[in-house]
A and B are shown apart, each in its own frame.
Chain A
């Protein structure tokens, strides 16, 4: 858990303080009972009222301070937990960002959703539900045992032994009997199946496989049920233990107080204190069994977050001196390296005013070739950019020279302006409109406005409009090389031809590489 610790440690002191304050709050309940028991026992002897005064004030003090301390503890611990959560999320994002890009191009959404949201949130429970309540139980129990020890040292020691045993035994029982790795795998299966089913609900309706999805989910759920029930039983058994040790402690305290009372080592007014205190000493254990029964699940989440955080970052090549742009890109027998797929070598050359059009059968490796050029994939053979071997440049260095349109490009769920500004953060509205004009969108967009929200997955726009928005975004990025993967998808031939003419005119001083299965005239 080395990587995770880095995020957790900065907040650890605050969390510990919160745990201690929380424990003190429970200790107030111990104080309240001890004081009240003494007060009532003393009162039954009918002393002058002055004797009771201090106890009366103490009882009220304990009554008030318990809630206040608890409030403080919870605010502090939740604040720290949420702050850590944000840090972990940012850490995870940075890790994924540093992965070999091909990895997140293929990343499935269910996987991401589960890892990022569920796991990181579960981590908060590790302190809020498990570590802090345990420390709290320890603190309040110590307070109660301290009082008993002061009144009857031997009894105090016996009860302390029982208390410490329970403090470790109850969590061990809860953890030992609770769910295991299996639960997590089943949960994953259900979540993945559900996410996939919601993504493809329309297709599943038309092709009638929604029943299969439902059966799959129900089957996984049945296994999960059995595991949930086992966890419930484990928690129940741990609570049983809590009652058992409380009962034993009460009886032991009562039995030994008889002798102590006879010896006059224990004042009569303190008998009630000693016998009743065990009732609250073990109070702090309430909730621990249920919490600890989830420990293995939480630890699994922690481990999977930790694993993700420890994945090696995508190797960045040595930074050498970069050649000034000559506008020439050359492929010589280049073969993108893909698992299990054989791709024919490709040779070709692009320069200013002489675009390179890569066409070929689907699956021939056109997009992979582009991914190799920009450093998303490894390759064999040679690719040179401005005369410099691509292999000597990092992906970042190469991308810095390019304006790229990927086939899997994404429109973000924000406004049109924000989406286009990804192409050029400094672009003015006029520049954005000019770029939209190139793709014949300026009329529509000036009507609806640049503020228009694109909607989740470009919901509010048609396929052709989305494609042209992406193209406009790429055109906005002013770079010596322009790489376009299927830029005219979802456009009719006439419109494609018009836009192609405009794009090649716009790129007169740039080098253009286009992947297209269409016979497009570029000059």
Chain B
């Protein structure tokens, strides 16, 4: 975990200008701190040592006030800049992450599941706010202000300068030492947190199940236990990180005390003037304060930094190198394919061939690898051993050398579990073919046995919302209609008649036959062998 990750500059263009501006602001800040302290001390000395009147000092009062006002104006500028840039930078990272994930250019979402990724893209990135808008500006202040103020102190009084020189390095030194512990601990905390949020989500997704087994009340204890573990874990981390703040605070305040006492003793000896003494006393905390502050913000920003690390990992993930583009695909064949599953036996898919103009039925007992095979054809899984050859007329390519975008354009798909975005039935069907007019949409729906009168608001019925009233079977029919509408050369149907009644099943069978006659490659996974019986079937065996 680095305070300033070079990857940030690479993935967020706004960060460069921001860093430059922050350096300038920090330098101005240092200058104002020194001038303001000098002006105040000057006032005190004039009052204490020479008999003056208020009117004599009027311009000096104004000067002091001016410095305060200038520092205030500087704060407005720096807060504005921080808010503006933090927003821009988080935006850039979020969009970068989503482009990579939604563009199918990262495997992370298929490996870690959607919940982990959405937590990262929402809360993870929001956690970066304290890193961008608090920690980073303070980092530059901590680099510039102590240096400038320390030099000023040294030029006024060598001994005080020596104390500063000796104590200031202790702060980062302790910071690094303690950071070693907190680094690992923060990672653990992030894990506990995503564990906890995943656990919550799992629990709530299964609330209906728990309820029908009369087990939902029992989860209360478990939730408490997990929450308690989270608290204990977090407190462990916090105790260490607060300990580092304690060390920094003690070093800082004790150093100021040390400087004050040493100045006092030398004043008694007459080796120093009151003006110098007070000037150093006022300046000394300004050396330690920014460093202490930066350590404080660092802990607050640690969660964000951890999220940033994971985002950078995803952004740096190597992408598919496929570039080949094929015309209308007519045939696909493959060797025996082997796929590793963590915690399970290796899956082996027998070699086979599928082509246009016929029904390609994939059968086999559950667990034989039918869905895995589909994910390979869909291009979501390139982690297999063996070759899948795709042919279009005379040209032939291995599936992993194909350009993903153009390959996906050739494919239409009915997934086993449908996930609609929040949209109307019309919008969802337009995803299959954006140019289709309403009468065409209705025709496609009736092809799969769904009449618009079954939908509460016809084509304007909302899908994917909180109060969806459509049945599982109706939703599958809409997804099937969407799949049929896409002008693609390959149509993959995973259990098209699941949850569907017998009458509609006949309609669906008819629709599939029509698609085959149009020359599409139809890949059908179905347990209902009644459907399309007698066609060429590719049977996946049981796992060996």
Contact = CB atoms under 8 A, between A and B. Distances in A.
A67 B202 contact: no
B415 interface: yes
A118 B123 CA distance: 7
Interface in A194-211: 194-210
A459 interface: yes
A221 B282 CA distance: 44
A97 B207 contact: yes
Nearest to B200: A116
6 contacts: A201-B114, A203-B419, A233-B83, A250-B68, A276-B40, A399-B211
Q: Is the interface of B mostly helix, strand, loop or mixed?
A: helix
B431 A70 contact: no
A275 B65 contact: no
A406 B472 CA distance: 12
Given A101-B208, A217-B98, A363 B471 contact: yes
B257 A232 contact: no
Given A239-B76, A462-B371, A275 B224 contact: no
B264 A363 contact: no
B232 to A, nearest CB: 9
Interface string B257-282: 11011011101101001100110011
A365 B474 CA distance: 11
A49 interface: yes
B322 to A, nearest CB: 14
A36 interface: yes
A117 B200 contact: yes
A225 B366 contact: no
B109 A236 contact: no
Contacts of B380: 202
B102 A206 contact: no
B44 interface: yes
Interface stretch (B16-24, B144-152, B215-223, B332-340): B215-223
Interface residues of A, number: 179
A207 B486 contact: yes
A67 B98 contact: no
B54 interface: yes
Interface string B437-463: 000000000000000001011000000
B102 to A, nearest CB: 4
B343 interface: yes
A153 interface: no
A9 interface: no
Given A89-B227, A93-B223, A423-B213, A206 B408 contact: yes
A437 interface: no
Which of A64, A251, A423 has the most C-beta atoms of chain B within 10 angstroms of its own C-beta?
A: A251
A459 B48 contact: no
A161 interface: no
Given A60-B254, A275-B44, A422-B209, A208 B243 contact: no
List the 5 closest pairs (A to B, CB-CB), nearest first. A232-B83, A362-B473, A464-B366, A247-B68, A86-B227
Interface in B40-60: 40, 43-44, 47-48, 51-54, 57
B468 A86 contact: no
Contacts of A1: none
Interface in B238-255: 238-239, 242-243, 245-250, 253-254
Given A242-B72, A410-B205, 20 more contacts: A39-B264, A43-B277, A49-B265, A62-B253, A74-B245, A89-B227, A108-B466, A114-B122, A118-B122, A198-B101, A200-B420, A205-B408, A207-B431, A207-B432, A232-B133, A255-B61, A361-B503, A362-B499, A362-B501, A463-B495
B513 interface: no
Nearest to B455: A363
B362 to A, nearest CB: 11
Contacts of A302: none
